[in-house]
Amino acid sequence: MKSLEAITYEPQLSYMQTQQAINYIKTTFSQELAKVLNLTLVSAPLFVESGTGINDDLNGSESSVRFTPSNIESGLEIVHSLAKWKRMALKQYNFSAHAGLYTNMQAIRQSELLDHTHSLLVDQWDWELIIHQSDRNLSMLQTIVEKIYAILLSVEEDIQKMFPHIQKELPPKITFITTQNLLEDYPKHSPKERETAITKKYGAVFLMQIGGALSDGNTHDGRSPDYDDWSLNGDILVYNSVFDEAFELSSMGIRVDESKLVEQLAVAQCEERLQHTYHQFIVNNELPFTIGGGIGQSRLCQFLLKKAHIGEVQVSHWPDEIVKFCELKGIPLL
């Protein structure tokens, strides 16, 4: 993998071209996503009530931004994502099977380690689709992944037509592989090195079964135990030629049912979450079966427009050392 310090970089688009492309990508991708998956755009919260279990716990170690308004007794916290809120909203809004919702989610992740792909600001299409209990299987998961990947291919082709000097890189089809098989293929590599090796080989992969322990006793990556079913989830990863490494565009999965929730909370040693409002809804079978995920808006723009830094496609805040480094390398932060 190349370090950002080692790359030779020159932006392929001007400031105005970049803004034009960002607008096109966000508009076109969201419209196609809604059409292909039968989703309705809905309003979404920036913050939720603390202690309800509704916020996304990510890896379980990240702290959320919290505040207590003067006229509200309970504390509120800025969302990390809407992984759990969406499932509750589908019930509240009375969606039917094989229909769902999506949102233009913005969040703050104050614990994020900032680099060329990670920002304090997270913007993504958070989507969720109601399925039948019988749809909770690998075939359904892979079908949805292939539909999303087809949209990625279409938007990449559009961008190449708009800006012919930006070369297409995505392969015609996405490859499916489990984290266990990836470990067996690259036993001496770290998880991130494995991801780079497999995406460099195939161009685009859906890496499945993230969260549970592998044969070496380790997990490939952390995943909260209370929304994805670890046996039916995964990440869409692509090979990023700008800095020669795997690049995550989306995290998604079929959501836990009652038995998987209890099982995974026990493995993660956080059974106390069962007392939270959200978890009680699942235990009591009061929420629909769903599949859902998040697709990074700035991440997608960064990849398709061959940008070296996520700050080239979103306005965030960066420490002085990153700002100075980008100035030195000719990377224009917004």
For 82, the token pair is: 């809407």
Could you tell me if residue 13 is inside a domain? yes
pLDDT value, residue 70: 79
pTM of the model: 0.91
CATH number of the domain bearing residue 280: 3.30.930.10
Could you tell me if residue 157 is inside a domain? yes
pLDDT value, residue 63: 74
* DSSP assignments along 271-320, one per residue: GGGGGSHHHHHHHTT-S--EEEEEEEHHHHHHHHTT-S-GGGTS-----H
Query: Which of the residues in the chain have pLDDT under 50?
Result: 1
Could you tell me if residue 27 is inside a domain? yes
Please tell me the number of Cα atoms within 13 Å of 210 on its side-chain side.
26
Q: What is the pLDDT of residues 65-111, one digit of tens each?
A: 778 887 777 788 888 778 889 999 999 999 999 999 999 998 888 77
Domain that residue 210 falls in: 4-329
Contacts of 70 (CB under 8 A, 6+ apart): none
Could you tell me if residue 174 is inside a domain? yes
Give catalytic residue positions.
56, 109, 124, 235, 248, 251
Phi, psi of 61 (to 5 degrees): -110, -15
**119 in helix, strand or coil?**
coil
Could you tell me if residue 42 is inside a domain? yes
pLDDT value, residue 1: 44
Alpha helical stretches, state H, the chain: 15-37, 85-92, 138-162, 179-185, 191-202, 258-267, 277-283, 297-304, 320-329
Could you tell me if residue 266 is inside a domain? yes
Q: Considering only CA atoms, which of 237, 236, 244, 281 is closest in space to residue 261?
A: 281
Could you tell me if residue 24 is inside a domain? yes
Could you tell me if residue 334 is inside a domain? no
If one counts the domains in the chain, the total is 1
Specify whether the CB–CB gap between 243 and 116 falls below 8 A.
Answer: yes
